[in-house]
Each structure stands twice: as C-alpha cells, then as structure tokens.
Amino acid sequence: MAFSITILGSSAAIPTSSRNPSAIVVNMDYSYFLMDCGEGTQIQLRRSKLKMQKIHHIFISHLHGDHYFGLVGLISTLNLLGRKDELNVYGPHDLEKIIQIQLEASQSNLGYPIVFHITNPNEAEIIYETDEHYVKSFPLDHSIETTGFLFSEKQKPRRIKKAFLYYDFDVPVEDILKIKAGADFVTDAGKLYKNIDITENPPQALSFAYCSDTKFYEPVVEYIKNANVLYHEATFMEDMRNVADEKFHSTALGAALIAKKAQVGRLILGHFSARYKNLDNLLEEAKSTFPDTELAADGVTIKLDANEKTRL
C-alpha cells in the first residue's frame, strides 16, 4: 500500500519566503487527506502537483488562523473547478459557523455538499475509518482547544505461504480465513500443520502522527506510541523555553523527548518561528535526544515504509 506525506507548509504563524503556514497532505493507499489549511495551501497543492479534487477529507487541528485561513479559499476554488463530490471537514465546533459566514457573505453557492464533523478536544476518538485504515484525533495542550491526528493502517492478517496452497489436498475457504487469523490446519487424513510453519508475518501496519500546536505534553505519548513518523511542532529552542511555555508551544528538545518516549521511527520538526533564519541549531538540539530527526521542508514528500527511512 502507498503511504506518504507531503509537507505543504512548515512555518509557524508568520509565513516566510520559503515556508508557508501549516498544511500536510497524507496519502494512504491513494486516498488523500489534508491536515490543516493555512494561507496559500491551494497554491502549494498546485506546486506539489497534487490534485485537490482528490481530497475528500480535511482535518483542522484548531482555530488559530495559520492552521485554517486557507480553507474557505480552497473550498471556493473546488467549487469553481466544478466539484460535485462531498467534502468532509473535521475540526472544532465553531469551524462550520466560520466557514458558513464567509460563504454567505460572499454569496457563494456551492455545487457540492460539505459535511462538518466536530472533533473532541478532551479525549481520543476514531473520526474516520475504512476496512484498511483509520484516523484518530487526540487532545493536545495549547492556548485554545487543539487536537492532533494519527493516520494508521489496520494490521493485515497473516499471509499463507504459497507452497502450502500447492500441497496435494484442498484447503477449504473457511479454513483459509481461520489460518490467516492464526489457526493451525488439520487435513482429512489427520495430519497437523502448525500455523507458524504455513504462514508468514504480514507487512507492518504503518502510522503517521501529527502534533500541531502544543506545549510539551507527555500524555500524548500513549496516542502516538510506535508511530513510524511523527511530525511535531518545534516553534522555539530550549533557550526560549519560558516563552514556549507561555505561548503553549514546544521546543525542539521537547519534541525530541516526546519522540523518544513514544518510540517512534522518525521525527519531523516543523512549525518554526520566523525568528530563526537558520534552523540547524533546532535540528542539533533535537538530535541530541532523538538522533533520527529531520527538518520539515515545504514541498517534500516523505514515504512511510517499515524498512525504509529515506525521502522520495
């Protein structure tokens, strides 16, 4: 299955010449999801050659402008492009009212339906689910109600070895399902085949965790445990820890501590304050605690793979 993320915006509240406000596209088996939608997101989608009409689910972490000011523009553009398919928007309870006011004030009549889903800032919930994957929201600790998101594949059953299927006996369909679930198999002649001998481990279920604006918040560890990739805000360095705490933001070191405690595969730092012209020091601060750390960069696609940790 394909599983990747494309970073559209990695700046904090103030965009820079090379970094847009927060936005990330997640591709799970060619289903596309947008996380946060700062100003200019639709332009970044075009630059990244991602077809915005393929996005059917948008997740907004909270109602600070750098995380959703681009949403009504994207909604309007989708309408101008002739969209007919339903668009699902997940976010805080006031988001629907904000979007509807803008659409009504501009007398915008959409040719497609928007379904708003209110997220819960107080506890973790599965907010989207199919047979193959799911999205879970979970609480963060910011100055206003904020949620993070976990995108995860569902664990597949064990795989039956091809050699077993070519033996001189037929395996009933109902037994194949039981074998995939972990059962042994006994032939009509009474011969026992242990499950461990006739099956293989399935591919590891992959997951991506997104922690947008939040101060250092250790309870988040239980929600993102063992994620393959964690994107975590790192607005400040540790020498500005007091400011970070006051503004309910994380430092690069704080993000690294969360990654270490959660035993994630890789840490991507993002949401950088515009005060930092050179981000190397933030990277080194995080790497001192969690070596497998890298800096987010707008336009970069990162592939999730159980055995591969390289960028496309």
Q: Out of 36, 66, 213, 298, pick the active-site residue.
A: 66
Which pLDDT belongs to residue 173?
84
Q: Which of 203, 167, 210, 206 is nearest to 185 (CA)?
A: 167
d(CA 59, CA 146): 11
pLDDT at 66 over 90: yes
Token digits of residue 232: 């975590």
Q: Which pLDDT does position 213 carry in this prediction?
A: 97
> Is 78 or 178 the better-scoring residue by pLDDT?
78
Question: DSSP labels for 235-284?
Answer: -B-GGGHHHHHHTT--BHHHHHHHHHHHT-SEEEEE-B-TT-S--HHHHH
CA–CA separation, 302 vs 209, rounded Å? Answer: 13
pLDDT at 181: 84
Q: What local confidence, expressed as pLDDT, does residue 236 receive? A: 97
* β-bridge mates for residue 91, sequence order: 118
CA separation for the pair 173, 81 (Å, rounded): 47
Cα-to-chain-centroid distance, residue 37: 13
**Mean pLDDT score, 188-199:** 87
CA distance 146 to 254: 18
CB-based contact 127:90 (threshold 8 Å): yes
User: Which tens digit of pLDDT belongs to each residue from 131-177?
Assistant: 999 999 999 999 999 999 999 999 888 888 888 877 767 788 888 88
Q: Is 66 annotated as catalytic?
A: yes
Task: Assign a CATH topology to domain 3-156+203-303.
Answer: Metallo-beta-lactamase; Chain A (3.60.15)
Task: Report whether pLDDT(96) > 80.
Answer: yes
- Token readout for 293 is 């750390």
Q: Sketch the domain layout of the chain as residue ranges.
A: 3-156+203-303, 159-200
The whole-chain average pLDDT of the chain stands at 94
Residue 310: its pLDDT value, please? 37
Reported as a single tens digit per residue, the pLDDT across 208-248 is 999 999 999 999 999 999 999 999 999 999 999 999 999 99
> What count of other Cβ atoms lies within 10 Å of the Cβ of residue 196?
10
- What pLDDT is stored for residue 307 in this prediction? 57
pLDDT band at 271 (very low <50, low <70, confident <90, very high): very high
- Whether the Cβ atoms of residue 118 and residue 126 lie closer than 8 Å to each other: no
Q: For 70-82, what is each residue's pLDDT tens digit? A: 999 999 999 999 9
